[in-house]
Amino acid sequence: MTYREIGSSKIKASVIGLGAWAIGGGTWWGSTDDAESVKTIQAAVDSGINLIDTAPAYGFGRSEEVVGKAIKDRRSKVVLSTKCGLWWDDDQGAPFFEIDGRKVNRSLKANTIRQELEMSLKRMDTDYIDIYHTHWQAIEPCLTPIAETMECLMALKKEGKIRSIAVSNATPEQMDEYRACGELDANQPRYSMLDRAIEADLVPYCVKNNISILAYSPLEQGLLTGKIGMDYKINEGEARNGISWFEPDKRKLVIDMLGGWADLTKKYDCTMSQLVIAWTVAQPGITHALCGARKMYQIEDNCKAGDLVLETADIARIRADVERLG
């Protein structure tokens, strides 16, 4: 497994991280087996994946609780990443979405951040978080100034409750404001070979300012594993709903493209998932890839991508293929 530093934090995290969104279950991801999820997380850590990323909103605390159970006897081996900014305990914040009977708001006020952190620490039975992200940025009518949010985060860092500060779904302009008030080590945006929008401005910004990029959904919700065919049915409310690449016409283009890389999987003796993940973390500025997993075999698959090195010509060939898709 390859490890890279998170910004300037001195924290070394595996280039392959375990994304724990699906572990929270609920409407987005359907039923999930907590006992199996615990074993999966433990297998990840034992295999060298030390970066575990979760959030309070993943199953409304369920993901964090499961992660906490899994890492209880190996906390020192884990780079634990979680988030703040999605609030549902009362009406504070700006309305964002409703799911599973809860109204979720965006709030990056100091009082809600502190409450969220304490609840996360309790759920995961730990006294510190390694990487603490603002999950989604504040918006009107609760547009808390970034300076106020960062003042709170810097205070939490000084208190030893968090080790590094990160953002998620933030623009370069917003990151400028964060950096003007303190230390920013990472950004967690959506990125896959099918969704490369951040390459235009966010990636160059992060490279210039030594900000790590922890890419979420690098396998495009499983479509890039090569295991989703034309017969796959998406249930109403699933996280995959609304992703245009799952539409039949576009899905066929992706499936055909993956089929054209059979010689590459043979050349590197790897699965399609491993090939895609290795390509992702080989892109300039993409320092880590957060890959979801709820089952042991998924960890085994993802982990092997952590030391797979692709030749420059093959990286260029894959990019050319995905760019032809549009």
DSSP 173-194: HHHHHHHHHS---EEE-B-BTT
pLDDT at 235: 75
pLDDT at 75: 96
Contacting residues for 6 by C-beta, under 8 A, at least 6 apart: 12, 13, 79, 131, 164, 166, 185, 186, 212, 287
Contacting residues for 61 by C-beta, under 8 A, at least 6 apart: 119, 123
User: Under CATH, domain 3-222+281-309 is a member of which superfamily?
Assistant: NADP-dependent oxidoreductase domain (3.20.20.100)
pLDDT per residue, tens digit, the chain (326 aa), is: 999 999 999 999 999 999 999 899 888 788 889 999 999 999 999 999 999 999 999 999 999 999 999 999 999 999 999 999 999 999 999 999 999 889 999 999 999 999 999 999 999 999 999 999 999 999 999 999 999 999 999 999 999 999 999 999 999 999 999 999 999 999 999 999 999 999 999 999 999 999 999 999 999 988 999 888 888 887 777 767 778 898 889 999 999 999 999 999 999 999 999 999 999 999 999 999 999 888 888 888 888 899 899 999 999 999 999 999 98
What would the two tokens of residue 94 be?
A: 């700006």
pLDDT at 141: 95
pLDDT at 326: 80
User: Could you give the CA distance from residue 130 to residue 228 in angstroms, rounded to a whole number?
Assistant: 34
pLDDT at 230: 85
User: Could you give the CA distance from residue 322 to residue 195 in angstroms, rounded to a whole number?
Assistant: 10
What is the C-alpha end-to-end distance of the chain, expressed in Å?
32
The count of other CB atoms within 10 Å of the CB of residue 187 is 30
The count of other CB atoms within 10 Å of the CB of residue 191 is 26
8 A C-beta contact, residue 206 and residue 168 = no
Q: Which of 3, 58, 132, 216 is catalytic?
A: 58
Q: Which residue has 């575990």 as its token pair?
A: 52
pLDDT at 300: 84
pLDDT at 297: 87
pLDDT at 146: 98
58 in active site = yes
Torsion from C-alpha of 153, 157, 159, 163, nearest 10 degrees = 140
The count of other CB atoms within 10 Å of the CB of residue 324 is 9
